[in-house]
């Protein structure tokens, strides 16, 4: 069942703190979409963040935190990026993530120490400074050793296993302190898609971790779960995921991946907010499998810099490619991962052309609407 909820009553709050009625666009199907306004992420000197391939978003110590995937500029890989949501300024770790002994001794140290394709990020709400991320497309590293390949051959998905990685922010930098390869039951029919794997993580209550899969063997997005109990990180054995059988949209054709995931609690009810990048939609998924999902159509706007002549103050983007979402207070925040083959399609005003050519991301925000969770 497909459900679409209208957004005519929402108020969009820009980073400047002022409020205005959101712009709506009527598409070919007659369905209106909600405008989500963005601002360019910049460093303290006012320069846009060039080619970070931001692929996750979470909240820690009142800051938004992101990280880069394996196709980012090499100087930004294996670093956490800390974003001040009031100013859209970003500061990255000074040094790349280091490997703790347990990770260095694992079968995956070579991959994690070089250019791991980190594709999601979530902070642990009860363990200060602890984050979780997940890898994708590890085939670029070549084969595992014979002994490691035999130990981890039964993944239920890709030949090289998907890796769940524990990060810890310390006074000495960010350290990879744990790694667990993921195992999927054959009955889940996850399929062998090295670059269409887990792209969303969200920590719920009671140590419950939710994992969003871009597509399975039937081309459908999926959400899995696992419990990160006290002994979870004591070894590097497989961690088996479970299927909570949540209500998700299903599709007859095409690619409809989940590329970002966030957890949100409303009283005794809990929800997952999922970024459906290809569809320009926000999906509201209840953790109660008896509750139907909602689909919120979106479009994204970018500001033009310097109010150049013959340019609008904002432009509707052709391709935003959201890959990180997080809830902070009563606001939903999103960050995009500039899709290199499509990002220059956004060029309209010459003043923004350099930003798009630099693969510079934007930070988007919109207030949470109570109607989403009814």
Each residue of 232-272: pLDDT tens digit?
Answer: 999 999 999 999 999 999 999 999 999 999 999 999 999 99
Tell me whether residue 52 is in a domain.
yes
- Give the whole-angstrom CA distance, residue 312 versus residue 329: 31
DSSP 8-state secondary structure symbol assigned to residue 95: S
**What's the rounded mean pLDDT across residues 199-226?**
97
End-to-end CA distance of the chain: 17
Flag whether 7 is in a domain. no
DSSP secondary structure code for residue 135 in this structure: E
* Domain limits for position 115: 12-373
* pLDDT over 90 (residue 26): no
Q: In the chain, pLDDT over 70 holds for what percent of residues?
A: 92
Report angle CA 281, 337, 322 to the nearest 5 degrees: 10
Supply the pLDDT for residue 143. 76
Question: Which CATH number is 129's domain given?
Answer: 2.115.10
3-state helix, strand, coil in the chain (%, to 5): 10, 40, 50
* Cα–chain center distance at 357: 22
- pLDDT above 90 for 112: yes
What CA–CA distance (Å, rounded) separates 13 from 364?
A: 10
Domain assignment of residue 6, yes or no: no
Q: For residues 364 and 44, give the distance between their C-alpha atoms in angstroms, rounded to a whole number.
A: 19
User: Using one digit for the tens of pLDDT, what is the confidence trace for 89-109?
Assistant: 999 999 999 999 999 999 999
Backbone dihedral region for residue 62 (phi beyond 0: left; psi -120 to 50: alpha; all else: beta): left
Question: pLDDT by residue (tens digit) across 291-337?
Answer: 999 999 999 999 998 777 889 999 999 999 999 999 999 999 999 99
Would you say how long the chain is, in residues? 374
SS3 128: coil
**pLDDT tops 70 at residue 14:** no
**pLDDT grade, residue 31 (50/70/90)?**
low
The reply to whether 200 falls in a domain is yes
Residue 264 in contact with residue 273, Cβ under 8 Å?
A: yes
Cα 169 from chain centroid? 19
In a domain, 55, yes or no: yes
Identify whether 93 is part of a domain. yes
- Alpha carbons 212 and 207: distance in angstroms, whole number: 16
**Residue 341: C-alpha distances to residues 128, 303, 334, 357 (Å):** 38, 21, 21, 11
Residue 24 predicted with pLDDT over 70: no
Give bridge partners of residue 332 from the DSSP assignment.
Answer: 327, 366
Does the pLDDT value for residue 18 go beyond 70? Answer: no
| Residue 1 is assigned to a structural domain of this protein | no
4 inside domain: no
Arithmetic mean of pLDDT over the chain: 91
Q: Which of 22-26, 57-61, 108-112, 203-207 has the lowest mean pLDDT?
A: 22-26
Question: For the chain, what is the domain count?
Answer: 1
């Amino acid at each position: 069942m497909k459900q679409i909820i209208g957004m005519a009553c929402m108020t969009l709050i820009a980073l400047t703190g002022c409020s205005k009625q959101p712009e709506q666009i009527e598409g070919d199907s007659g369905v209106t979409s909600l405008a989500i306004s963005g601002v360019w992420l910049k460093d303290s000197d006012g320069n846009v963040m060039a080619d970070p391939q931001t692929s996750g978003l979470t909240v820690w110590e009142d800051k938004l935190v992101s990280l880069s995937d394996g196709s980012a500029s090499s100087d930004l890989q294996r670093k956490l990026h800390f974003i001040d949501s009031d100013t859209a300024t970003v500061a990255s770790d000074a040094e790349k993530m280091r490997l703790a002994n347990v990770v260095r001794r694992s079968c995956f140290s070579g991959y994690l120490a070089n250019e791991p394709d980190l594709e999601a990020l979530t902070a642990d709400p009860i363990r200060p400074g602890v984050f979780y991320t997940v890898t994708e497309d590890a085939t670029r590293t070549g084969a595992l050793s014979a002994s490691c390949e035999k130990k981890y051959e039964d993944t239920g998905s890709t030949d090289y296993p998907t890796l769940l990685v524990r990060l810890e922010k310390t006074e000495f930098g960010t350290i990879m302190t744990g790694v667990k390869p993921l195992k999927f039951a054959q009955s889940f029919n996850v399929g062998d898609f090295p670059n269409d794997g887990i792209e969303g993580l969200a920590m719920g209550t009671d140590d419950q971790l939710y994992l969003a899969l871009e597509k399975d063997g039937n081309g459908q997005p999926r959400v899995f779960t696992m419990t990160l109990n006290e002994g979870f990180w004591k070894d590097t054995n497989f961690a088996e995921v479970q299927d909570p059988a949540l209500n998700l949209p299903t599709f007859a054709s095409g690619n409809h991946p989940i590329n970002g995931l966030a957890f949100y609690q409303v009283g005794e009810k809990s929800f997952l907010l999922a970024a459906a990048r290809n569809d320009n939609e926000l999906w509201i998924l209840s953790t109660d499998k008896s509750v139907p999902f909602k689909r919120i159509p979106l479009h994204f706007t970018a500001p033009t810099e310097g109010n150049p002549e013959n340019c609008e103050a904002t432009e509707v983007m052709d391709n935003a490619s959201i890959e990180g979402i997080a809830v902070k207070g009563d606001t939903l925040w999103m960050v995009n991962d500039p899709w290199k083959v499509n990002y220059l399609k956004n060029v309209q005003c010459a003043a923004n052309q350099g930003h798009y050519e630099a693969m510079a991301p934007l930070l988007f925000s919109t207030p949470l609407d109570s109607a989403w969770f009814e």
